[in-house]
Amino acid sequence: MQTDSSFTFVLFGGTGDLSMRKILPALFEAHRAGGMLADSGKIVAVARHVGDRGEYLQWVNGHVKPHVSKNGVDESAWASFLERIEFVKLDLGNPEDFVLLRDAVQALPGIRVFYLATGPSLFVPICRALASVGLNENARIVLEKPLGYDLKSSNAINDAVGEIFAEEQIYRIDHYLGKEPVQNLLALRFGNALFEPLWRREWVESIQITIAEELGVEARGDFYDNTGALRDMVQNHLLQLLSIVAMEPPHSMDSDSVRDEKLRVLRALKPIDPLDIGKVAVRGQYHSGVIRGTSVPAYATEPGVKQNSTTETFVALKVEIENWRWAGVPFFLRTGKRLADRVAEIVVNFRAVPHSALGASALRAGANRLVIRLQPNETIRLYCLAKQPGEGMNLASVHLDLAFDQFFREGQMEAYQRLLLDVINGRLALFVRRDEQEAAWKWVEPILNEWKASNRPPKPYAAGTWGPAAASAMLAQHGTCWLEEEN
C-alpha cells in the first residue's frame, strides 16, 4: 500500500487512551514500513493538559512507545517518526485556540484529516469550531464510536456534522472492518468459485458471530453503565460483521458498491416484535468469579457503576434476514465482558448431508463448518469429516488451516493502520455510511425500548464463564450450540 499522498493528520484527544494504544502506534507502524506515508506528512496532536511540543514528545516516549512494535522498536525509525509530530495546546472552550490551530496547519502540506478521538459529546462543538476558522473545507473528519445513544441522538450528531462536512468527507470508523480476516472473508467469498455457491440457505444451517472479552469495564465504569453491551458492541461491530457475512456480491470494491450491499442486509433484518424479545434476546450481567486463576469483582461493585444497575454486560441474539439468500437461516450474535476467553470469530455451520451411507456421524449438524477467527490469532479454519485410520468406516473431524502469520511471512497490517491509511488516501469502503448507521439503530431500538420499559434485571453469570445459561438454551432450541474452543 504505497502512497505519495501528502497529509496533515490532526489528532484531537492527543493524550487519550485511544491515541496512546491504537492511533499513534498505527501511524508509527505505517511510518516504519516505509513508503506507506508520504515523507512530507505531518501529525499535529491537540490536547489541553500538555504545555508544548517538547513536553508532548516526552509523553509520547513514555506512553506510546511501549505499545509499538511487538518485536522491539527501531530507534532510528522512532526518532524520524517523532520528527513528524507537531503539537498545539488547545482548549475547546476558547475560540482563539482554533485560530492558533488554523495558523499551525495552514503552512503544512496535503489533505487535512481531523481525527476526533474524543467523547461523542465533543464531536459537534469541535466540528463547528473547525468550520468557524475555515478548516472544514477540503478536509476529512474521522468519528469514533459511539455515535449517539439511540437513533434520535445519532441523527442529531449526523445532522449537525453533516451541515459542516459533506458525507464523502465523513469517515465513521469501526475498527473490526479493518481486520485482516474480515478482508479475507470478502476474498474467500468473492474470489473463489468454491464457497459462493454454498453461501446460502440451501447449504448453511446457521451462523454464529461472537465477540467475547475477558476484561471487565476497567476504568470506564461511568461510561459503560450509561451505554451497555447492546449499544457498545451490537449496534456497530456485530451488525457490521453480520452485513459483511450476509451481503450479496458487490459490483466492485469501490466504497458505495460495498456499502450499498451492506445496507441491503441491514434493511432486510427481520424486525423483532416486542412480545418476542424474551425469546430471541438474552441480556446478562457478570457477577464475581475467577478468570485465569484470578478472582475478579462483580460488575455492580466496579468503580463508576450505579448501585443496583441494570446495565447489561452480555447480549446474545437470534437474528433473521428476510431475503431469498438467507430466509430461514438463524444468525446468532453474542458479545460480553468477563467471559471465559478473549475471542472474536464467525462460525458458518453447513447443513449435514441429506443421507449418509457412512453412519450417523456424517449426519451431525456442524460436521462441516468454517471458522473465521478475528482475534486473538487471525485464522480461517475449514472443518470436515475424514475416515479414521484402521478397521471400519469411523469418521472424525479434521480441519484445514490458513494461519496468516505462517502463510504470509511479511508482517500483517493492524486494523487501525489499514483504516488510517484509507482515510489519508480517501478510501471510504471500510467506513460506515450514515444510512447504514440509521438502519442498525432502527433495528436495535425496539430491544432497547423493551428492556427499559420492562425494567427486568439482566440474568446473572459468573465471571470466567460463557454467560447466562439462557444464551445456550436459545441455541439448543435450534439443535445447535455455541462453538467454544481452546485458542
Note whether residue 71 is domain-resident: yes
Q: Does one domain contain both 284 and 196?
A: yes
Residues 211 and 213: their CA atoms lie apart, in Å, by 7
Q: Does one domain contain both 185 and 244?
A: yes
Q: Does one domain contain both 299 and 444?
A: yes
Note whether residue 105 is domain-resident: yes
Residues 104 and 98: their CA atoms lie apart, in Å, by 10
- Tell me the pLDDT of the chain (487 aa) as tens digits: 445 579 999 999 999 999 999 999 999 999 998 889 999 999 999 998 888 999 999 999 999 999 987 667 889 999 999 999 999 999 988 889 999 999 999 989 899 999 999 988 899 999 999 999 999 999 999 998 878 889 999 999 999 999 999 999 999 999 989 988 888 888 888 988 888 889 999 999 999 999 999 999 987 889 899 999 999 999 999 999 999 999 999 998 888 999 999 999 999 999 999 899 999 999 999 999 999 999 999 999 999 999 899 999 999 999 999 999 999 999 999 999 999 999 999 999 999 888 777 777 666 666 889 999 988 888 888 998 888 888 778 787 888 887 766 777 666 788 999 999 999 999 999 999 999 999 999 999 999 999 999 888 999 999 999 999 999 999 999 989 998 864 4
Q: Give Dmax over CA atoms of the chain in angstroms.
A: 83
pLDDT at 65: 93
* Closest C-alpha among 159, 160, 177 to residue 415: 177
Domain end position, chosen among 97, 125, 144: 144
Residues 168 and 141: their CA atoms lie apart, in Å, by 10
Residues 221 and 230: their CA atoms lie apart, in Å, by 16
Radius of gyration, alpha carbons of the chain = 24
According to the 3-state scheme, what is the secondary structure of the chain?
CCCCCCEEEEEECCCCHHHHHHHHHHHHHHHHHCCCCCCCCEEEEEECCCCCHHHHHHHHHHHHHHHCCCCCCCHHHHHHHHHHEEEEECCCCCHHHHHHHHHHHHCCCCEEEEEECCCHHHHHHHHHHHHHCCCCCCEEEEECCCCCCCHHHHHHHHHHHHCCCCHHHEEECCHHHHCHHHHHHHHHHHCCCCCHHHCCCCCEEEEEEEEECCCCCCCCHHHHHCCHHHHHHHHHHHHHHHHHHHCCCCCCCCHHHHHHHHHHHHHHECCCCHHHHHHHEEEEEEECEEECCEEECCHHHCCCCCCCCCCCCEEEEEECECCCCCCCCCEEEEEECCECCCEEEEEEEECCCCCCCCCHHHHCCCCCEEEEEEECCCEEEEEEEEECCCCCCCEEEEEEEEEHHHHCCCCCCCHHHHHHHHHHCCCCCCCECHHHHHHHHHHHHHHHHHHHHHCCCCEEEECCECCCHHHHHHHHCCCCCCCCCCC
pLDDT at 380: 86
User: Active-site residues: which are they?
Assistant: 237
Q: Does one domain contain both 134 and 184?
A: no
Note whether residue 484 is domain-resident: no
User: Model-level pTM?
Assistant: 0.92
pLDDT at 487: 47
Contact assessment for residue 262 and residue 244, using Cβ atoms and an 8 Å cutoff: yes
Task: Give the domain extent around 43.
Answer: 7-144
CATH number, domain with residue 74 = 3.40.50.720
φ/ψ of 78, rounded to 5, equals: -65, -45
Residues 411 and 431: their CA atoms lie apart, in Å, by 23
Domain end position, chosen among 121, 144, 167: 144
Q: Does one domain contain both 196 and 139?
A: no
Q: Does one domain contain both 209 and 296?
A: yes
Note whether residue 399 is domain-resident: yes
pLDDT at 225: 93
Q: Does one domain contain both 184 and 110?
A: no
- Give how many domains the chain has, as a whole number: 2
CATH number, domain with residue 211 = 3.30.360.10
Contact assessment for residue 288 and residue 463, using Cβ atoms and an 8 Å cutoff: yes
Q: Does one domain contain both 140 and 186?
A: no
Domain end position, chosen among 144, 167, 197: 144
- Give me the count of residues in the chain: 487
Q: Does one domain contain both 110 and 248?
A: no
Q: Does one domain contain both 74 and 121?
A: yes
pLDDT at 363: 67
φ/ψ of 348, rounded to 5, equals: -105, 110
Helix pair angle (434-454, 151-162), 10° resolution: 150
Note whether residue 422 is domain-resident: no
Contact assessment for residue 348 and residue 195, using Cβ atoms and an 8 Å cutoff: no
pLDDT at 162: 97
Q: Does one domain contain both 244 and 308?
A: yes
Note whether residue 185 is domain-resident: yes
Note whether residue 212 is domain-resident: yes
* Closest C-alpha among 43, 42, 40, 33 to residue 2: 33
Q: Does one domain contain both 139 and 186?
A: no
Note whether residue 381 is domain-resident: no
